[in-house]
Structure 1
Amino acid sequence: MARISVNLRVFSQVILSLQLPFAVIPLVMFTSNRNLMGELVNPFWLKALAWLVASIIVGLNSWLLLQTIF
């Protein structure tokens, strides 16, 4: 019984982590858009860093999902 609850807890955390890119990627896109942000748009170095972090998040989530399934 305890093993099942641990597996369900881990699976629920995997599902929650999969939602993070759906928040991070639009955030980076919107804050990098000069038409939306005007003079408050992200500088180039911050755009590059933000896309790097977003791609790391997506990559780690993909790896986590594969580890959970297999």
Structure 2
Amino acid sequence: MQLFSSLEWGDGDTVVGSRRVISDGLVCSYIADIGVMEEYRGKGVGSALMRETLKHTTLYTNSFKGCNSHY
């Protein structure tokens, strides 16, 4: 079973951030991308998108040593 999820964050009629996740619906999720319009960066939009994502999955990273705190 494969699930695809898309979440958008808006400011009125404007989408200012989005993220896409591919998941088996049980354990494994892949965050395909997350993006926030430049003028909205640093205002918590990306963090809100990730918080919503983490309500439904566990985050495992495949990153360089010491970089996990970035995620």
The alignment's TM-score, normalised by the length of structure 2, stands at 0.32
Structure (1 or 2) with the greater helix fraction = 1
Structure (1 or 2) with the greater strand fraction = 2
The alignment's TM-score, normalised by the length of structure 1, stands at 0.32
Task: Name the structure, 1 or 2, with higher relative contact order (CA <8 Å, separation 6+).
Answer: 1
